[in-house]
Amino acid sequence: MPTTTDTILSATLGLLPKGTYLMTAAFEGQRGGMVVSSVQRCCDDPALICVAARKGHAIDPLIRDSRGFAVGIVPEGDKMIPRKFRFDDTAVSPVIEPVADDPFEAIPTTTMVTGSPLLSRCPVWFDCEVTRRIDLEANYELFVGRVLAILHNGERIDLNHEPVEDDD
């Protein structure tokens, strides 16, 4: 049974903005996507965004290997994207399980700089290069991405950044 403290904490955290976003990635012909609810702007110059994502998802190895991802804003009322890209349904990676289905099959997609699949159903996309991946020692991790290009209502804007050097 929740305590008063738990109830107050939950209500207070609920005041922070949340939305419905689709995070995608691709590497060597494999594609993956997952619905996330926490995306925020980190910095304007250079443009950086931060995404909180469940660990162990199909796109984890794709993001790691490609060093890129895209985040699309899911339109309010869209039922297909949340249903198609639920954590449970897309948690098996084609990289780990070669017989896993491509979640984007039969869905028209396009790409920008990173090659991550973009669905036309989302009016806004951020195409990002990973600058940091932060393990929170919880069931979520943070991906910080430098925005390389945006797609806004069909208009593509490339931000012409130099590639980020590896820390290795």
| pLDDT tens-digit series, residues 109-162 | 999 999 999 999 999 999 999 999 999 999 999 999 999 999 999 999 999 755
pTM for this model (two decimals): 0.85
Domain count, the chain: 1
Stretch 21-37: mean pLDDT, rounded? 94
Residue 1 lies in a domain: no
Q: Compute, in degrees rounded to 10, the torsion defined by CA atoms 12, 48, 144, 64.
A: 150
For residue 36, the domain's CATH number is 2.30.110.10
Number of neighbouring beta carbons within 10 Å of residue 33: 28
Stretch 4-20: mean pLDDT, rounded? 86
Residue 164 lies in a domain: no
Residue 3 lies in a domain: no
Task: Check residue 86 and give its pLDDT.
Answer: 79
Rounded CA gap, 103 and 18, in Å?
Answer: 24
Residue 38 lies in a domain: yes
Residue 20 lies in a domain: yes
The distance of Cα 94 from the centroid of its chain, to the nearest Å, equals: 17
Task: Check residue 134 and give its pLDDT.
Answer: 96
Read off the pLDDT of residues 95-121 as tens digits, 9 standing for 90 and up: 555 556 788 988 999 999 999 999 999
Residue 74 lies in a domain: yes
Residue 11 lies in a domain: no
Q: Is the pLDDT of residue 17 over 90?
A: no
The distance of Cα 11 from the centroid of its chain, to the nearest Å, equals: 26
Question: What residues make up the domain containing 127?
Answer: 16-158
Residue 168 lies in a domain: no
Rounded CA gap, 17 and 73, in Å?
Answer: 14
Task: Check residue 118 and give its pLDDT.
Answer: 97
